[in-house]
Structure 1
Amino acid sequence: MDWKKLTIESRDIIQEFLQNKFETSDMNFTNIFLWSFSEDIQYVVNDEVLYIRGFYEGNEYYFLPVSKENNKEKIVEAVRKIKENNGKIVFIPEEYVELLKEYFLIQEERDSFDYIYLQKDLAELKGRKFSSKKNKINKFKKEYNFTYEKISKENIEDIRIFQREWTENRKDDNIILSETLGIEQLLNNYEKLELRGGVIKVDEKIVSYAIGEKLSDSMGVIHIEKGLFDYQGSYQMINMYVAKEEFSDVEFMNREDDFGSLGLREAKLSYQPIKFIKKYSI
């Protein structure tokens, strides 16, 4: 197959297959584009089926092949072609398990589960279950002279500088270095990707920011969220404000997976997800 490197110019082609079809965070052009700079992500359309592959730490992997018309026979045949070349398929959404388990050995991947929340829970933090979050937010508001700003052309360069400085102290983490490469490109193409987000500033200095987008009529997703631990409550602030200010038109929020990080898992569970979107591999 004639594989092509995935670039921002690939978006229209990829969107024909993915847009409004999936609520998983992975089957989404922005997420794929984000990691394409470190994982050499490529794509090809063959017999009206989209194939996407990448290379993580030198190992080849594939996304679930997608048929534009959701032709089940074509999907099964595409998966079979990948398996004939010993390819590993990852991030398979749960709705495809029934179709594929008849033909392939499917494995559940807990580290890839997406965390799903009610938008109003994140935006309002009502009830005793969120009391610790609300306490940190109240303390932040009392302690700091803060402002919230929607991400725009006026502050996007400040976010770029913030991200570079945030990464400086984490240069031994290859995943963070890879992610920062992608974040630079998200910022370069912010409007074209139809992203949404905001920043929290203290005395005109960014202390946290988050970027996401609308996945479907009812679901938003947060792709990036960064903050400074020196400003206790900065993460809780940006989480609440972006949900409230940028995603009032959705019912649910997808905050992606925890990548197997116990600290991240604990943090995501503490926001009381209403469900997980399970993912699988072949």
Structure 2
Amino acid sequence: METEQLDIADFLTIETKNRNIFEEKLSILKRQSCECCFHNLFFWSEVYDERFSELKNRLIVASFTEKEVMFPIGEYFEPSQLANLSNTFRRKFHWPGSFYDVPEEYINQYHSTISAYFKIETSENYYDYIYRTESLAKLSGAKLNKKRNLTHQFKKKFSDIVIEKISAENIPLVLEFLNMPDRNSNSSNTLDDEHRAIERALRHWEQLSTEGLLIVDGSNQAIAFSVFSQINNNTYDIHFEKASRSFIGASQVINQETAKLLMQRGVSFINREQDLGLPGLRQAKRSYVPEYMLKRYRLTALD
């Protein structure tokens, strides 16, 4: 496979007009990874300077900030072909030539061959949390009893709340919420990056037919919201979910209401993405009892 012709100039920024070609290629393998969703790639593309190019009927997505490459979108490359692509990035771009978001299926299928070209690595920090939609919607069972109680207490205490779909009309309320004092008391680069990604999602809301739910109180102030989109035929990704810490139970309610909406559509699974190794985030995600963890791998070129 010739990859030497691949050049930096061939990589284009990810725009809304590219949605069709991405979804065409992503539909080939129908993966559950949160990375395998055009909305997710688009929302974060400015933060990580992600660009794409087409090669041999696959899409190559590269982060020019992180200097790494997403596992090619489309039919699998043979490991030798993947190694050639890695070598191109190493020689022409002076990048490490590593690939992230490599599916476990690929590792299992080509393990003996891959190991001749790459170091195979994985970390639970980057596993996706996959939940049964029905489980998050009903909160049944002893393990979710505390969550269920919090939702009941919240709705009883704040009986004037309204739950509505995010639209062009109420997006200003979401933007206002993002700048609330209790949302920014622990500012960090990670939160700033997420803020940028959320704003990009909101700017292009109608163009991408993105979906979300918003909870507002009696004074028409936003207190929680979620943003989600479809990954494949049976899985949706929760891109963002935020709730005011001033309203105990708000985070549990926005979580449950989103799941209820998706359950009504017959969606089987919800991907709530990774915990990034952050203790608080890990505890929160595990407390909802995931159905399973979706393993993703990294391939690093051998010297």
Taking structure 2 as the reference length, the TM-score comes to: 0.85
Confirm whether residue 105 of structure 1 aligns to residue 113 of structure 2. no
Give the CA deviation at 1:154. Answer: 2.1
Amino acid at match of 1:242: T
CA deviation digits over 1:20-50, x for unaligned, max 9?
Answer: 6221101211111121111111111022221
- 8 A Cα contact 1:50 1:65, kept in partner: yes
Cα distance in 1 for residues equivalent to 2:69 and 2:271? 22
- 8 A Cα contact 2:103 2:296, kept in partner: yes
Give the CA deviation at 1:78. Answer: 3.3
Return closer, same or farther for 1:32/1:79 CA change in 2, 3 Å cut-off: farther
The structure 2 residue matched to 1:266, chosen from 270, 283, 288, is 283
Give the CA deviation at 1:83. Answer: 4.3
Q: Give the match's secondary structure for 1:39.
A: coil
Confirm whether residue 65 of structure 1 aligns to residue 80 of structure 2. no
Cα distance in 2 for residues equivalent to 1:167 and 1:112? 27
- 8 A Cα contact 1:220 1:254, kept in partner: yes
Return closer, same or farther for 1:76/1:237 CA change in 2, 3 Å cut-off: farther
Cα distance in 1 for residues equivalent to 2:81 and 2:192? 37
Q: CA RMSD in A?
A: 2.0
Confirm whether residue 116 of structure 1 aligns to residue 125 of structure 2. no
CA deviation digits over 1:77-127, x for unaligned, max 9?
Answer: 134322451312111121211244322321112111011111111111112
Deviates more, 1:229-238 or 1:162-171: 162-171
CA deviation digits over 1:204-239, x for unaligned, max 9?
Answer: 211000011122221111110011111111100100
Give the corresponding residue for 1:82.
Answer: 86
Unaligned runs of 5+ residues in structure 1 are none
Return closer, same or farther for 1:42/1:149 CA change in 2, 3 Å cut-off: same
Percent identical residues: 30
Give the CA deviation at 1:268. Answer: 0.4
Count of matched residue positions in the alignment of Structure 1 and Structure 2? 277
Taking the TM superposition and a 5 Å limit, the aligned residue runs for 1:133-144 are 133-144=147-158
- 8 A Cα contact 2:125 2:276, kept in partner: yes
The structure 2 residue matched to 1:245, chosen from 261, 274, 279, is 261
Unaligned runs of 5+ residues in structure 2 are 1-5, 91-95
Cα distance in 2 for residues equivalent to 1:215 and 1:176? 24
Cα distance in 2 for residues equivalent to 1:280 and 1:160? 35
Taking structure 1 as the reference length, the TM-score comes to: 0.91
